[in-house]
Amino acid sequence: MKVGIPSEIKNNEFRVGITPAGVKDLVTNGHEVQVQVGAGLGSGIPDEAYIAQGAKMIPTAEEVWKSSEMIIKVKEPIAKEYDLLQDGQLLFTYLHLAADKPQTEALLSHNVTSIAYETVLGPNNSLPLLAPMSEIAGRLAPQVGSHFLLKANGGSGVLLGGGSGVRRGKVVVLGGGVAGFFAARVANGMGGDVTVFDVNPKRMQYIDEVTLGQVRTLFSSALAVEEAVAEADLVVGAVLIPGAAAPKLVTNEMVKNMKPGSVLVDIAIDQGGCFEDSHATTHDDPVFKVHNSTIYAVANMPGAVPYTSTYALTNATMRYAVALANKGWKEACKSVPGLIDGLATHGGKLYSPPVGEALGIDAVAPQEAL
């Protein structure tokens, strides 16, 4: 199979869809890998490293898309790439369709077979291809939050770790999944006074045990969240419903009642965000003000640390990518557990009911495509 790796063109997106090790895996299995010239430079991977493992370097994105049977990316196609989609092409990447009707319609109209990293299932309903980026986004959230808490950056001037005789910054994390857990761990490591809200008792018990009680857990009732947000210096939104739009847990009125200079970081922005006022921002212009608070809602947070992100992502995706190339999408989805749950579109039909519900498009379960 001809496998194409185009450069990412989303704002300040420096990740790339494959590492040299991933190229070697595909080439060893008899496939042709076409990488756009310069695609890996932002992640510290020169063209020569790909060539050494058998990749062909292609000058333009147009050529990569046109000549490849399968495209491996990091981020979803944006508007400039819609016309590059090929009829019947296999696309393997993050999609986050529930918050993106134009992209969904483009995939359907071009008859693309798309498999979304974020809904591929692992054991115990885990999300093995979402987890690496969720971990990195979670680790980043307290860092960017503390940056915008600085008085010079429009914040309240509160240091998360406090000082001798001075209170620590209060951090509220909404969601105890992978992103929320790592956000809580890093915030705790920075000295913050951290509380994680979740609805899963077993998950809360796990967080309590792993952090030796240093991170508090509370059941996520509307009243408890409202009270905690009002007292918070930093709120991290890390709520996830796989494949579906994120629930709005922090309302405009709740932000209005927050302390002046407080900061909110919306990790859930790829799925529409879990704050009522959230809209996607970019690394060039990452924040906006709501009342007296700052909201950070960059839709590709891990793109800020591309070296770490690219290698972590390829480590997770390559066994699936090799299976897709070796067997074709249908046989791979039959033989690799959980891969079929990533199927989003095929033959002009939508195969993700949560996306269909969010966007008002008819959809059927992915298993029906088999």
Give the residue numbers annotated as catalytic, written as ranges: 96, 270
C-beta separation of 195 from 216 below 8 A: yes
Q: What CA dihedral angle connects 198, 357, 75 and 132, to 10 degrees? A: 30
What phi, psi does 49 have (nearest 5°)? Answer: -70, -35
b/e burial code for range 331-344 (CB count within 10 A of at least 16 → b): ebbeebebbbbbbb
C-beta separation of 258 from 291 below 8 A: yes
Tokens of 298: 């960059």
Q: In angstroms, rounded to a whole number, what is the distance separating the alpha carbons of residues 259 and 144?
A: 18
C-beta separation of 146 from 261 below 8 A: no
- What is the arrangement of strands in the sheet containing 2-5, beginning at the earlier edge strand? 56-58, 32-36, 2-5, 70-72, 90-93, 113-116, 343-346, 349-350
Nearest alpha carbon to residue 305 among 145, 82, 140 = 140
Q: Which one-letter amino acid corresponds to residue 53?
A: Q
Q: With 0-12 CB in 10 A as exposed, 13-18 as middle and 19+ as buried, what is 152?
A: exposed
Tokens of 242: 């796989």
Q: In angstroms, rounded to a whole number, what is the distance separating the alpha carbons of residues 365 and 68?
A: 27
Q: In angstroms, rounded to a whole number, what is the distance separating the alpha carbons of residues 156 and 263?
A: 9
